[in-house]
């Protein structure tokens, strides 16, 4: 009798243990999922006609290169594309996902599916959700400054149209960046419609490089007071280096790797010298002899004997320019073979 009384409890414990183990197993990420910095994309509430764009960072954590075979979505309301199809060891990229806020409205759920070809076939599925409101419309859908010369202020204006309450208003516009400021200028009100000009200014002290910020319009809506607005710009210095970070991948001790760095100037430039902060004599470069708008610098770096992370910063001195330009190289030195 005692045995029979304890048996149901024992079965319950066993069942709970099995369920817990199954749940823990389901939460384990496969090798491909581990490369992504987020597992869901939530656009929140966005305006109709807005450019709703999200980027999911992907980092190759492995010694072998990984190749993306395909990126697709499960709904016509969204689309996805990779920044590059092949990522070398330790190289970073991103999957860009966009929502079609012009053809679709209200709640939309989808998935972006990334299929890897090498080193093994694997799929990664990332859920996407968004709510596209019908009462607020941006025209155009984002603020795109394009190329802006470093040190110069730039201003762009887009239209906001609201249909609903005649007393509706934009109370303020918040920016996460000191380089991007905005204001809402009312242009029309009445008969349930309100129009604004959204005036966005890029400050002259904006740092060189790509800028991708999100403004937040704060309205007097009780249910959805916040409306996001994408701002993009490419602030160009008089001299630029591409890539800003060179990915060297995994190198063996003593291994030499070649790569190119492109230097561009608004005017023809003469490169005087290239220096490495570590000053260990592990890199070689062939300097151009003449001034030009574009220089392609062939460089060779030799991995040191000590295994571990490799991080180098290079300084390029340009004739007549008071401050040098810099770029970085990142990689990893593998352990030497045993024996």
pLDDT, tens digit, for every residue of 122-160?
Answer: 999 999 999 999 999 999 999 999 999 999 999 999 999
Do the domain assignments include residue 254? Answer: yes
My answer on whether 102 and 190 are in the same domain is no
Residues 292 and 222 in one domain: no
Q: Is residue 204 part of a domain?
A: yes
Q: Domain range holding 87?
A: 32-133
Cα dihedral 136, 139, 143, 147 in deg (nearest 10): 170
Q: Tell me the C-alpha distance between 313 and 273, whole Å.
A: 14
Give the pLDDT score at 15: 39
End residue of a domain, out of 172, 204, 236? 236
Q: Are residues 291 and 312 in the same domain?
A: yes
| 13 pLDDT tier (thresholds 50, 70, 90) | very low
How crowded is residue 180: how many other Cβ atoms within 10 Å of its Cβ? 21
CA torsion, ordered 129, 177, 48, 51, to nearest 10 deg:
-80
The Cα diameter of the chain in Å comes to 98
The model's confidence at residue 316, banded by pLDDT at 50, 70 and 90, is very high
- Per-residue model confidence (pLDDT) at position 45: 93
Residue 236 has pLDDT above 80, yes or no: yes
Give the confidence band of 231 by pLDDT, cuts at 50, 70, 90.
very high
Task: Return the pLDDT at 63.
Answer: 85
Assess whether 127 and 55 both reside in one domain: yes
Q: Which two tokens stand for residue 114?
A: 């990334």
Task: Give 338's pLDDT tier (boundaries 50, 70, 90).
Answer: low
Whether residues 118 and 45 fall in one domain? yes
Tell me, yes or no, whether 69 lies in a domain: yes
Do 201 and 270 belong together in one domain?
no
3-state secondary structure of 32: coil
* 37 lies in the same domain as 126: yes
Map tokens 């352990």 to a residue.
Answer: 335
Give the burial string for 288-316 (b: 16+ CB within 10 Å, else e): eeeeeeebebebebbbeeeeeebebebeb
Distances (CA, A) of 212 to 138, 229, 232, 254, 267: 18, 11, 5, 39, 27
Q: Is residue 294 part of a domain?
A: yes
Residues 120 and 192 in one domain: no
Instruction: Label residue 19 by pLDDT band (50, 70, 90).
Output: very low
Q: Is the pLDDT of residue 263 over 80?
A: yes
111, part of any domain: yes
Average pLDDT, the chain: 88
- 313 in the same domain as 243: yes
**Residue 65 lies inside a defined structural domain of this protein:** yes
Domain boundary among 133, 163, 183: 133
Q: 214, 236, 258: which is the final residue of a domain?
A: 236
> For residue 320, which phi and psi values (nearest 5 degrees)?
85, -5
Residue 241 · residue 329 · CB < 8 Å: no
Domain match, 291 and 308 both: yes
Give a yes or no: residue 24 inside a domain: no
CB atoms within 10 A of CB 113: 15
Task: Say if CB 330 and CB 250 are below 8 A apart.
Answer: no
The arithmetic mean of pLDDT across residues 12-38, rounded, is 63
Token pair, residue 170, equals 């934009």
H-helix or E-strand spanning residue 292:
strand 292-302
Do 92 and 163 fall into the same domain? no
Residue 338 domain-assigned (yes or no): no
Average pLDDT estimate for 280-291: 85
Residues 165 and 215 in one domain: yes
Q: What is the pTM of this model?
A: 0.75
Q: What total number of domains does the chain contain?
A: 3
Identify the DSSP state of 16.
H
Confidence band, pLDDT 50/70/90 cuts, at residue 27: low
What does the pLDDT look like over 73-105, one tens digit per residue?
Answer: 999 999 999 999 999 888 999 999 999 999 999
Segment 111-115 mean pLDDT: 97
Q: Are 200 and 224 in contact (CB under 8 A)?
A: no
Query: CATH code at 282?
Result: 2.60.40.10
């Amino acid at each position: 009798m005692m045995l029979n009384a304890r048996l149901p409890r024992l079965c319950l414990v066993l069942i709970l243990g099995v369920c817990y183990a199954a749940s823990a197993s389901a939460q384990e990420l496969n090798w491909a999922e581990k490369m992504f910095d987020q597992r869901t994309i939530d656009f929140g509430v966005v305006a109709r006609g807005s450019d709703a764009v999200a980027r999911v960072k992907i980092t190759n954590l492995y010694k072998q290169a990984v190749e993306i075979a395909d990126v697709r979505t499960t709904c016509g309301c969204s689309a996805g594309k990779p920044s590059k199809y092949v990522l070398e060891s330790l190289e970073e990229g991103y999957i860009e996902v966009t929502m079609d806020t012009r053809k679709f409205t209200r709640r939309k759920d989808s998935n972006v599916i990334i299929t890897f070809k090498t080193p093994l076939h694997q799929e990664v599925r990332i859920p996407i959700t968004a709510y596209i409101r019908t009462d607020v419309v941006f025209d155009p859908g984002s603020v795109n400054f394009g190329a802006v010369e470093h040190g110069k202020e730039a201003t762009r204006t887009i239209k906001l149209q609201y249909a609903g309450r005649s007393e509706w208003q934009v109370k303020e516009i918040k920016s996460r960046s000191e380089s991007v400021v905005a204001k809402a200028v009312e242009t029309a009100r009445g008969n349930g419609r309100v129009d604004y000009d959204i005036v966005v200014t890029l400050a002259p002290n904006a740092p060189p490089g790509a800028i991708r910020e999100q403004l937040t319009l704060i309205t007097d809506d009780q249910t959805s007071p916040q409306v996001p607005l994408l701002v993009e710009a490419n602030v160009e210095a008089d001299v630029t280096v591409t890539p800003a970070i060179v990915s060297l991948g995994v190198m063996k001790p003593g291994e030499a790797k070649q790569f190119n760095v492109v230097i561009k100037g608004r005017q023809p430039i003469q490169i005087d010298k290239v220096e490495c902060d570590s000053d260990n004599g592990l890199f070689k470069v062939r300097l151009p002899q003449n001034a030009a708008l574009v220089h392609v610098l062939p460089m060779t770096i030799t991995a040191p004997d000590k295994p571990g992370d490799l991080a180098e910063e290079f300084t390029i001195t340009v004739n007549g320019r008071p401050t040098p330009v810099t770029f970085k190289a990142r990689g990893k030195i593998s352990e030497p073979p045993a024996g």
